Structure 1
Amino acid sequence: MTGDDETFEAYRRLLFSVAYRMLGTAADAEDAVQDSWFKWSAADRSAVADPKAYLVRIVTNLALDRLRSAQRRREAYVGPWLPEPVRTATDDTDPESVSLALLVVLETLSPLERAVFVLHEAFGFGYAEIAAAVQRSEPTVRQAGLRARRNVRARRPRFHPDRASRQAVTERFVAAATGGDLGTLMRLLAPDVTVWTDGGGRVPQLIRPLTGADRVAAMFASLGGRTYQGIAVADMALELVEVNGGPGIVFRGGGRVVGAFTLDLDERGRIAAIHNVANPDKLAALTAGTVYRLGPPPAP
C-alpha cells in the first residue's frame, strides 16, 4: 500500500460516517466513498496541504449530488421513506447523531442545510471549513446551519434517555409484543405514539403512519398470530442488537432478515415513535452482519 493509499484508508471511516449521515443509506454512502477514492487517485496530491479537509470536501460534494437526485426519487416512493438501519459500535459513536429518528428529521432539510448540520454538529467542522468544502460563502453556510438547527430542534426533543433505559424499555416491548400482552404495551406507549413502516412497495407494510396507543398496542399484541411473507411471526427469531447507536430489534425468518425496529422514547420514558424498516433493499447490511463505527476516527 502506498502512502497515498494509507492516507485515504486513514480517513475512510470518517468519509463513510459523513456520507451515511448525509444520505441515510449504507449502500449510497459506500458508493460515495468509492467515488471519493477515484477522485483522490486522480488528483495532484502534491498540491494537497490538508488531506482530511480535501477528502471531506470530495465526499460531501458527492453526497450532495446524490442527495439531490435521491430527493427526486423519494417523491415517488411507496409509503414512508426511512433511512437504512445499520449495526453500530457505541464506543465511539454519539447515539443521537445516527439514530433513525434524527436521520428522519434530517430528511426535512435542504441538501445544503443537511451538509452543514452534519459537518458542524456531528464532526465539529468550523463554518469557514464547511464553506470551503461546499463552495459557498461563510455567511450563507452560517445561515444554513442556523435554519438546520432550528428545524431539528423543533422536531426532536432535547431529552435523550440513557442507554440502560432504552434497553430496558426495548426488552419489555419485545416481551409484551411476542406475548400478546396488551396491558403492558399500553403502559409502555405514549398516548400519541406513532409507527412508521417502510416496505418501499416491495413487501406488505402500512403506507401511512399509525398513531395512537390503542391502535398501536392492538397491532403489536396481535402479531403472534400473523404471517409475514409466508413466515409465521411466531416462528421468527428476534435479536436485540445495537442499531444506529441504540437498542434495536432485528427479525429473522426464512434464512434472512425481514425487518428491523427502533424505538424513540419521550421524557417520561414511554415509547413515542417506532420506526420499522422492512424494505429488503435496506436490510443488506443487517443481513451481512456488518458493524459500522460511525464516530470520528482517531488521528492518523
Structure 2
Amino acid sequence: MTETPSDPIFAELRPHLVRLAYRMLGSVADAEDIVQNAWMRWLGTDPASVREPAAFLRTIVTRLCLNELKSARRRRESYVGSWLPEPIFDPEDGDAVDDITLPLMLALERLSPLERAAFLLHDVFGMDFDDVSSTIGREAAACRKLASRARAHVAEARPRFAVGKEQGLKLATAFFTASRAGDMASLRALLSEDVIVYADGGGKVPTSLRPHIGLAAVMLLHEQLARVFCAQPSQLIHYAVIDGLPGFVTVEGGDVVQTTALHIEQEKVVAIYCTRNPDKLQHIIGAMPR
C-alpha cells in the first residue's frame, strides 16, 4: 500500500521522509520500508489531532530508523568486502536538500545511532535541539553533545575543495574515457598520489574485497581492467551526480550494472567508489530502458 492523492499531507512530506531515512540507513530499500511503515501508522492517526504533521512523521521515521540500525550494524559486520551505501542520484535541477556526500555517508557509519540521528536532524535538516530532543527522546543538552561528537568525527569527510557540478562531470567524462580506452597516461594525470578505490559487490558479483590504496596500486588495477574492457567494452548508460559526487552508470561484462562515483579535490580524483552489488542497484536497474 502507498499513499494516495487523497492524502496530500503525507504525499507532500514523503520525499523529505525518504531522504531522512536514507541518510540514517544508507539503504534505499530500507528507507522505503521505513517510510511505508510510517505511512501505515499515519493511517491509524486522526490528522486533525496532529498539530505538526512534519514533526510527528519525522519522529516516527527517526525512531524506526534507530531500531533498524541495530540489525543493520549486525548485517554489516558479516558483509563480504567493502560496504558502500546504495547510490542515489541528485535532483536533475541540482537543488539538493542537503550537502551529504558519499564520503560523509561512510563517516556517518562510524557514529552511534543516536549521534547519527542528532547530527542529521540538527546539522543537515535544520531542526533546533528542543525538537531533536523530542524526536529521539533525549534531553536537549545531551543532543547537543551527541551532535558535537558526531561533528568532530565527520569533519574530515567534508569536501575541503568542493568541485562544481559541471566541472565534476567533465572530469568524470575524462576518467571514463581514459580508463575504458586503456589510456594510462591520461588516467594517471587525473589521479592523486593517495587515491583509493572501493568496490562493493557484496559477494554477489566479482570485485576486489579490499580497497586498492595509492597511485601505484590503482594504476595496476586499471591496467588489468583495461584488458577486460578491451575484450568486453563497457556500456555507458549516463553520467550523473551520485550521492553528491560526479560519476557514471555503466553495464560491465554484458550484464553487471555498476555505478562509479569520484571524489575530486583540487582537480584530482582522491577516491573512486564502485557499487556492483545488484541488491543495491534494483532501483536503478528497474528504471533502465529494456
TM value normalised by structure 1: 0.88
Determine the structure 2 residue equivalent to 1:297. none
Q: Secondary structure at the match of 2:24?
A: helix
The equivalences for 1:124-273 within 5 A come to 124-226=126-228, 232-253=231-252, 256=255, 258-266=257-265, 268-273=266-271
Question: What does the per-residue CA deviation read over 1:107-149, in whole Å, with 9 as the maximum and x for residues that have no partner?
Answer: 1111111111211222111111111011111011110100111
Whether the 8 Å CA contact 1:260–1:278 is kept in 2: the answer is: yes
Report the CA distance between 1:232 and its aligned residue: 4.8
- Secondary structure in structure 2 of the residue aligned to 1:142: helix
Given residue 16 of structure 2, which amino acid in structure 1 is its aligned partner? L
What's the % identity of the aligned pairs? 39
Q: Compared with structure 1, are the counterparts of its residues 238 and 48 closer, same or farther at alpha carbon in structure 2 (3 Å cutoff)?
A: closer
Give the secondary-structure state (helix, strand or coil) at the position aligned to 2:99. Answer: helix
Separation in structure 1 between the aligned mates of residue 4 and residue 211 of structure 2, nearest angstrom? 51
Determine helix, strand or coil for the equivalent of 1:223.
helix
Alpha-carbon contact 1:193-1:273 (below 8 Å) kept: yes
Q: Deviations over 1:2-31 (max 9, x none)?
A: 897221111011100100111111100000
Partner of 1:293: none
Does 2:282 align with 1:284? yes
Relative contact order: is structure 1 or structure 2 higher (C-alpha 8 Å, sep ≥ 6)? Answer: 1
Question: Does residue 1:43 correspond to 2:45, yes or no?
Answer: yes
Alpha-carbon distance in 2 for matches of 1:283, 1:3: 28
Spell out, residue by residue over 1:140-173, the C-alpha distance to the aligned partner (whole angstroms, 9 max, x if none).
Answer: 1110100111110033343221112211211111
Q: Which amino acid aligns with 2:285?
A: T
Distance in 2 between residues matched to 1:52 and 1:144, nearest whole Å: 23
Matched letter for residue 265 of structure 1: I
Show the counterpart of 1:108. Answer: 110
Q: What are structure 2's unaligned runs of at least 5 residues?
A: none
Which residue identity lines up with residue 268 of structure 2 in the other structure?
Answer: R
Which residue type is aligned with residue 201 of structure 2? G
- CA spacing shift, 1:95–1:247, aligned 2, 3 Å: farther
**Which structure 2 residues correspond to residues 6-21 of structure 1 after superposition, within 5 A?**
6-21=8-23
**Partner SS state of residue 152, structure 2:** helix
Deviations 1:211-265 (A, max 9, x none): 11122123224323227xxx95415335312322342211125775521110001
For the 8 Å contact 1:95–1:246, the answer to whether it is kept is no
Query: Structure 1 pair 3/89, CA: closer, same or farther in 2 (3 Å)?
Result: closer
> Residues of 1 paired with 2:274 and 2:92: CA distance?
21
Deviations 1:183-231 (A, max 9, x none): 111111110100111111111111111011122123224323227xxx9
> Where do 1:90-109 residues align within 5 Å?
90-91=92-93, 92-94=95-97, 96-97=99-100, 99-109=101-111
Kept in 1, the 8 Å contact 2:5–2:11? The answer is: no
Tell whether the 8 Å contact from 2:180 to 2:234 is kept in structure 1 after alignment. Answer: no
Q: Which amino acid aligns with 1:283?
A: L
* Alpha-carbon distance in structure 1 between the residues aligned to 2:236 and 2:115: 40
Tell me if the contact between 1:242 and 1:248 (Cα under 8 Å) persists in the aligned partners. Answer: yes
Contact 1:192/1:272 (8 A) holds in 2: yes
- Quote the offset at 1:287 in angstroms: 1.1
Aligned to 1:190, the other structure's residue is in SS state strand
Contact 2:90 2:242 in 1 (8 A): yes
Q: How does 1:26-41 map to 2 (within 5 A)?
A: 26-41=28-43
Shift of the 149–4 alpha-carbon distance from structure 1 to 2, 3 Å rule, reads farther
CA distance in 2, matches of 1:6, 1:242: 30
Taking only aligned residues, the RMSD between alpha carbons, in angstroms, comes to 2.2
* 3-state SS of paired residue (2:7): helix
Of 58, 61, 65, the residue aligned with 2:60 is: 58
